[in-house]
């Protein structure tokens, strides 16, 4: 995915205190891949690691493809997504995500 940041508004489904009209509302955003192609991504879930919030995104038209995890940060009352570029941060996020997946599979 490219190195741009993507802003979204109060209806972003990011897990923060925003008003929602529909509980099953699908939050879709468009990212640009390394080939310059726009890819529609669906925000599947958010989770916290070391007081930071991360979002799992899957391709809307290809749910079998590998998902991506981006860091969510609030800037000027908007949520902004960032690539995780620090190896240590990525290791912690990956461990936390694997624990979430294991917990879901057990229940």
Cα torsion at 48, 54, 55, 58 (round to 10°)? -110
Quick one: pLDDT at residue 8? 47
Q: The pTM is what?
A: 0.69
* 5 close to 20: Cβ distance less than 8 angstroms: no
Query: Mind listing the pLDDT tens digit of every residue in the chain (107 residues)?
Result: 444 444 444 444 444 444 444 455 778 989 888 899 999 999 999 999 999 999 999 999 887 888 899 999 989 988 889 999 999 999 999 999 999 889 888 87
Nearest to 72 by CA among 16, 28, 24, 3: 16
Domain boundaries, the chain: 27-106
């Amino acid at each position: 995915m490219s190195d741009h940041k993507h802003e979204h508004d109060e209806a972003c489904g990011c897990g923060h205190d925003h008003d929602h009209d529909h509980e099953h509302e699908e939050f879709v955003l468009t990212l640009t891949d390394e080939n310059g192609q726009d890819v529609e991504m669906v925000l599947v879930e958010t989770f916290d690691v070391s007081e930071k919030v991360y979002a799992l995104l899957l391709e809307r038209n290809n749910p079998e493809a590998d998902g991506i995890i981006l860091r969510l940060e609030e800037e000027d009352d908007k949520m902004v997504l960032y690539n995780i570029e620090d190896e240590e941060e990525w290791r912690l996020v990956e461990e936390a995500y694997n624990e979430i997946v294991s917990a879901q599979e057990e229940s």
